[in-house]
Chain A
Amino acid sequence: MRRILASCIAMVTLAACAPGTTSGGGSEQVDDKTLTYLYFTDGPDEQATRSLIADYEKKSGVKVDLQIVPFDNLEQRLQARLSGGNAPDVARLTNISPFRSDLLDLNQFQKAALDGQFIDGANAYVKGANGELLAVPSDLTMNGPMVNVDQFKKAGVSLPDVTKPWKWEEMVAAAQKVQKANKTQYAIAMDVSGHRFSTMLSQFGTAFFSADGTSVGLDTQKTTAAVKLFADLNASGVMPADLWLQAGSKYKAANEIFLAQQTPVYISGNWQVSAFAKDATFTWAAAPNPCQETCGGFPGGKFMVSFKQSKRQQAAADFIAFMNSKESQERLAKEANFLPTRKDLISSGVDYPQRDADMKVFLADVSRTPPQAFASSYSPAFAATAKATVDALGKVLAKSQTPEQAVETIKAAAEKAIKDTK
């Protein structure tokens, strides 16, 4: 008994130390011509990435170990590896916020090749307090609608002019006409995601956060208008309310509804282009985002990073510079139907071998998207606010909250998220 007690005391003492390990600063560097790259794939990008890596290996003599993990598991795995002092040399992330203190300043190694080359909207997110370059925006995503061209034709409804975007009410009216003519279940579908709903907010002239990303930017009146429209569309059956309610707290795409031809308009993003090119059994096209107070969509993207823990910092930065050079990014964009993040590529444009017209629609919306949307999307407080937004909208659809109450809930969540990330 005494021995058991002694063991317990030993365990308590052991556990009573502060948990975790501090993120190491510099680590002993090695030059062994190898690199580990922790990666998740969106699908079409994998082959393009592999062929770029093969080129890099030939050119540099560095062997890159591509470690592909499921997206759902990426953040946890990386946390575990950083805790165990086993960080990869390079990683591809959608959210750098949880790792900011672990990230390597790439300006120390590749300032000329990387600094100032990418969309300004991401600067507040990828830059450290002292101007360090903590991440490189490696590809840009743009939310926007896709339409079932066959169903529009059958209904005798003309497609929107890609140079002169439609208004929300025009899009809804057209979608309802097409729905009626084709007897589809819904007229418009949208992924269950706070990020996707942010597209509506931006079009109504507001965003979660201010242009500098440091305070809540939600305009009560504009946000309420967006929430009300969203609620009305779901209540009237224009949108599938069940999809939102059945998703719980999980992200859920509405792509299956579009592919099953049960909605003529689907609001998602450019990452669907490759998948639809392969899977859609009908004619479809990307349409410009509807305008309300402002035009454009809502951005997102992926980032390439290295870590202070890495024992191959120079090689990691060189590899990131190569993967995000004009030539590499253009190749990846063409092969995977990605949008570029480099300023030079955005201004010159990219000619896509497949679905070029659709990608041009998304690219055109990049320049129409207001800076506040970029600031909002790249805010460290975005994830928490987006999650609270999905919950609040769910309550509106279930009629357990009014749109006005939902707006207050979202604003409070944004306040808290900003406070939590400071």
Chain B
Amino acid sequence: MSPSHARRAKPWNQRLAPYLFVLPNMLIFGLFVVYPAINNFNISLYDSRNGRDFTFVGGANYQELLSSEAFWSAARATAVFATCFVVLTTVLSVALALMLNRRIKGRAFFRTVFFLPVVLSPVVVGLIWGWIFDRGNGLLNTVLGRIGLGQPGWLVDGGLAMIVVIFVGLWMHIGFYILIILAGLQGIDPTYYEAARMDGATNWQQLRKITLPLLRPTTMVVIILSLIAGFQAFDYIWTLTGGGPIGATTLMVQYIYENAFESPIRYGLAAAASVVLFITVFALTLLNFLYGRRKEAT
């Protein structure tokens, strides 16, 4: 009997079982992710100021986006934020995970300290850091003022505000990425290191020749996840800077939010911006994925 014939001979309920197991999840995913995403593209072809009266405008929303200074400003800010966030997240999470993977004193304490911000509400994080970075009455400037270092306008200077936003984002998320890298490190077979030590490899060589190459798939996951997080950043920035000063930290999601939910409402424009954001993130994720696959193959 050929294998294909054996497959055909399986009773129908056995053939159906796997599909039945994934069906609930597929239904929920389809209903709450796929359908809204498709419908969002549909909405981007209409103009609506109230969510009920829709006028078909074709690609006019996309044209308006491309000629909108606010959109390009948000796109630029998002690119800067996401690039810095991804690079710093990847480098720092690997470095800190390597440190926390060693048998250092107070390892559990440090792991807790790094992970704690992950469970905080982003809104609260934004508010707390807002009080810390406030120029006039903030905790940081009070300390800096006392030691004669002046009072930088952390949240009133565009460049500084972007640095603050990136820093707070790292502080809030780094624990999560450290955990992922730590899991990757735990998965490396210790015999590789034993063999390397027997061959006289230094710590630096072990890191370069064993740890980092074997950590590449995990690092890829961190890059992809932080890339998506970087492009979707909104909540804590909204409470920390409100997108200011003068739009310096207004990222794409805030641009979408303001058009969709704040007067004057522009559902179509917000939907078009969402489509652009989706395509951008999807393309970058795919490129990363393909690059990672190619690296692994070589």
Contacts and interface: CB of A to CB of B under 8 A. Distances in A.
Interface in B243-272: 243-247, 249-250, 254, 258, 261-265
Contacts, number: 132
Interface stretch (A17-25, A41-49, A298-306): A17-25
A95 B155 CA distance: 31
A204 to B, nearest CB: 23
A250 interface: yes
A185 interface: yes
Interface string B95-116: 0000000000000000000000
- Most chain A beta-carbon neighbours within 10 Å: one of B41, B43, B246: B246
Interface stretch (B44-52, B84-92, B228-236, B284-292): B44-52
B216 interface: no
B246 A245 contact: yes
A11 B35 contact: yes
A420 interface: yes
Contact of B243 (A79, A83, A102, A248): A248
A250 B127 CA distance: 14
A242 B136 contact: yes
Given A7-B30, A95-B263, A417-B264, A82 B52 contact: yes
Interface residues of B, number: 42
A7 B49 CA distance: 32
Main secondary structure of the interface of B (DSSP, over half): loop
B246 A20 contact: no
B52 A22 contact: yes
Given A394-B245, A398-B158, A19 B42 contact: yes
A12 interface: yes
Contacts of B156: 241-242, 245-246, 398
Contacts of A246: 130, 134-135, 155-156, 241-242, 244-245
B54 interface: yes
B35 A15 contact: yes
B53 interface: yes
B213 interface: no
B39 A248 contact: no
B188 interface: no
A70 B103 CA distance: 51
Contact of B51 (A83, A241, A249, A252): A83
Contact of A242 (B153, B238, B258, B265): B153
B247 A391 contact: yes
A112 interface: no
Contacts of B54: 18-20
B38 interface: yes
B56 interface: yes
Nearest to A16: B42
A320 B39 CA distance: 38
Interface residues of A, number: 48
B136 A185 contact: yes
A101 B48 CA distance: 12
A399 B27 CA distance: 53
Given A19-B42, A249-B243, A242 B34 contact: no
A400 to B, nearest CB: 6
Contacts of B243: 248-250
Contacts of A97: 263-264
Contacts of A69: none
Nearest to A80: B51
Given A76-B261, A246-B134, A398 B245 contact: yes
A357 interface: no
B102 to A, nearest CB: 41
A92 B118 CA distance: 39
Nearest to B133: A246
A19 B271 CA distance: 12
Contacts of A395: 246
Given A11-B38, A18-B56, A248 B48 contact: no
Contact of A248 (B38, B51, B250): B250
Given A95-B263, A384-B263, A394 B51 contact: no
A21 B52 contact: yes
Contacts of B134: 242, 246
Nearest to B246: A394
A76 B241 CA distance: 23
Main secondary structure of the interface of A (DSSP, over half): helix
A12 B37 CA distance: 10
A62 interface: no
Given A242-B135, A246-B134, A248-B250, A20 B53 contact: yes
A383 B50 contact: no
Contacts of A19: 39, 42-43, 46, 48, 54
A99 B241 contact: no
B72 to A, nearest CB: 14
B52 A11 contact: no
A247 interface: yes
Interface in A249-266: 249-250, 252
Given A20-B52, A95-B263, A101-B50, A250 B242 contact: yes
A11 B30 contact: yes
Interface in B193-235: none
Contacts of A387: 262-264
Interface in A223-282: 240-242, 245-250, 252
Contacts of B249: 248
B81 to A, nearest CB: 14
Contacts of A383: 263-264
Contacts of A241: 156
Interface string B123-154: 00000001000111000000000000000010
Contacts of A22: 52-53
Interface in B1-60: 30, 34-35, 38-39, 41-43, 46, 48-54, 56
A75 interface: yes
Given A15-B39, A19-B48, A21-B52, 12 more contacts: A11-B30, A14-B35, A17-B42, A80-B51, A82-B51, A102-B50, A246-B135, A248-B244, A248-B245, A250-B238, A250-B242, A398-B246
Interface of A: 7-8, 11-12, 14-23, 75-76, 79-80, 82-83, 95, 97-99, 101-102, 185, 240-242, 245-250, 252, 383-384, 387, 391, 394-395, 398, 400, 417, 420-421
14 contacts: A18-B56, A19-B46, A75-B263, A79-B51, A83-B52, A98-B265, A102-B50, A242-B155, A246-B130, A246-B242, A249-B244, A383-B263, A387-B262, A398-B156
